[in-house]
């Protein structure tokens, strides 16, 4: 019989990731795996058992191919002719945290746990963070 953990039994860890020179998609998929808790042997799909992830140097993330010029982020304001577009190069200059956030968000399952998992993702463009009291473990993602 497989034991299933309840949300009260989950032990959460803190990890810190340096995004310098990492490929955006590969970094986002590894972060999504940690936020879901799939790296733990007691992973339970219906329970939110992931860990906290701190991402540093978001502006130094790397993309391959022609994505800097061709990838476009689109959203709609809800008003007539309210379609907004921003290319990836603009987003990396003005909102580098949002680029990683959206990549991770779109790799998480589209269910009721996604919003709760994204609250455990902390992204900073600088190389410092205010979470030193949590003693985060360095996480080396090989991408």
Residue 28: which CATH number?
3.90.1180.10
pLDDT grade for 7, boundaries at 50, 70 and 90:
confident
Q: Domain limits at 108?
A: 13-62+96-138
Give the total number of structural domains in the chain. 1
Does some domain include residue 18?
yes
Does some domain include residue 78?
no
> What number is the average pLDDT over the span 37-60?
93
Does some domain include residue 72?
no
Does some domain include residue 43?
yes
pTM of the prediction? 0.93
Q: Is pLDDT at 4 greater than 80 in this prediction?
A: no
List the Cα angle 81/85/90 in 5-degree steps: 150
Does some domain include residue 119?
yes
Integer Cα distance of 63 and 25 in angstroms: 8
- Which one is predicted more confidently, 25 or 7? 25
Does some domain include residue 25?
yes
Does some domain include residue 89?
no
The Cα-based distances of 23 to 8, 48, 59, 100, 143 in angstroms read 35, 27, 12, 11, 6
Q: What is the pLDDT of residues 111-140, one digit of tens each?
A: 999 999 999 999 999 999 999 999 999 998
Does some domain include residue 143?
no
């Amino acid at each position: 019989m497989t034991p299933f953990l309840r949300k009260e039994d989950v032990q959460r860890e803190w990890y810190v990731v340096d995004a310098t020179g990492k490929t955006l998609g590969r970094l986002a998929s590894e972060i999504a795996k940690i936020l879901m808790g799939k790296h733990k042997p007691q992973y339970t799909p219906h329970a939110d058992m992931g860990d906290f992830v701190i991402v540093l140097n978001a502006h130094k993330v790397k993309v391959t191919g022609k994505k800097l010029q061709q990838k476009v982020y689109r959203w709609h304001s809800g008003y007539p002719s309210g379609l907004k577009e921003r290319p990836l190069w603009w987003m990396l200059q003005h909102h580098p945290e949002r680029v990683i956030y959206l990549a991770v968000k779109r790799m998480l399952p589209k269910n009721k746990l996604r919003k709760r998992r994204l609250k455990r993702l902390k992204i900073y463009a600088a190389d410092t963070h205010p979470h030193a009291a949590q003693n985060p473990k360095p996480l080396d993602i090989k991408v």
